[in-house]
Amino acid sequence: MNAAYKPLFQPLVLGGSLELKNRIVMAPMTNFSSHEDGTVSDAEISYYTRRSGGAGMVITACTYVTPGGKGFPGEFAADSDEMIPSLRRLADAIKGRGAKAILQIFHGGRMVPPALVLSGDVVSASDIPSDQNPDVTPRPLTDTEIESIILDFGQATRRAIEAGYDGVELHGANGYLIQQFFSPHSNRRTDRWGGTIEERLSFPLAIVDEVKRVVAEHATQPFIVGYRFSPEESETPGITMEDTLVLVNALAEKQLDYLHVSLMDFWSLPRRGADESHSRLTWIQQHVGGRVPIIGVGSIHSANDALKALESGVELVAIGRELIVEPDWVEKIEDGRETEIRTTLSKGDQDRLVVPDPLWQAIINAPGWFPVV
């Protein structure tokens, strides 16, 4: 190994007792490849097995906690106890290669395609369509339904514990339901779940409290709870960096085991709510660094990129598309073979890279997402 990269391979303990073998995380990435009934497919098992040998921690693609929250075709489920054997298969595949397995749990809210849910019943905090789904006006959730979804997150966490995962990540990013309640764009409520920023925080924090309660009751081994969030929204009104700093302070007070910042570019600057003297990640680090570990992500392509990101002060660096193109990305750096890391795809690479067909079709048919030669 190049001595300069040794910091990437230092162990890290999360939650007081869960030791990661290095500082590299496989980022959560949707692969569209589960069965129609919500169970994990053999192709997904092979895909994760191929990529779980190097990273210290693997965060799965998001899984829905209730049937009305399914966000994508080919998404796997954590909405009933019947799904526990399926969930266990995936946990075993990841852990069998030496990585810690984290189940990302979510509800799609207004981002859910109507065809995927019963009677096309798309729900959210308020009846505000999303820019991505402009023709679908969601139905505002009732107070009783909100309380039920909070419990659903807790039950999905219990299933993750029983299936053998090392933790869960609450998906409060990318415009899904948890973020919809925090956002002044999608949340126009005037009850206890909306209005002031403190009231808009009520739903995310209630989910955190319920998940942590379930962990305390059911986990007999170390089990961590993380939270992923998007620091800003493009809409006006929308989440600003000022709002996000309130969010991360509130999350840090809940003693979460990590915060995962969802970014396309690790070094991106704020749009509004904080000045451009610092990157978004630096602002977040200044507010909660030392109180809760931070995972940074976004356009980290090389070993040098990862090292520079780690040196910024984050505890962990997440890698996404690089692990699709080069499943041995981590191992090649550790073995001093970083010059052998592949950075492009060819149309004949699918079998060699062990990529499920639905994901492969998404890659090939999305120009600019990957360099395909």
- Domains of the chain listed by start with CATH number: 3-364 (3.20.20.70)
pLDDT at 347: 84
DSSP symbols for 324-355: HH-TTHHHHHHTT-GGG----B-TT-HHHHT-
Cβ-contact 259, 251 below 8 angstroms: yes
Question: Is 18 exposed, middle or buried (CB count within 10 Å of its CB: 0-12, 13-18, 19+)?
Answer: middle
- Annotated catalytic sites, by residue? 176
Per-residue pLDDT of the chain in tens (373 residues, 90 and over written 9): 789 999 999 999 999 999 999 999 999 999 999 999 999 999 999 999 999 999 999 999 999 999 999 999 999 999 999 999 999 999 999 999 999 999 999 999 999 999 999 999 999 999 999 988 899 999 999 999 999 999 999 999 999 999 999 999 999 999 999 999 999 999 999 999 999 999 999 999 999 999 999 999 999 999 999 999 999 999 999 999 999 999 999 999 999 999 999 999 999 999 999 999 999 999 999 999 999 999 999 999 999 999 999 999 999 999 999 999 999 999 999 999 999 999 988 888 999 999 999 999 998 887 666 665 5
d(CA 227, CA 208): 9
* 3-state DSSP assignment of residue 67: helix
pLDDT at 95: 98
Is the pTM above the cut of 0.85? yes
pLDDT at 368: 67
Stated as kind and residue range, the H or E segment containing 13 is strand 12-14
Read off the tokens for 227: 């939270």
d(CA 85, CA 315): 32
Q: Pairing state of beta strands 18-20 and 12-14?
A: antiparallel
Give the DSSP letter of residue 323.
H
pLDDT at 40: 98
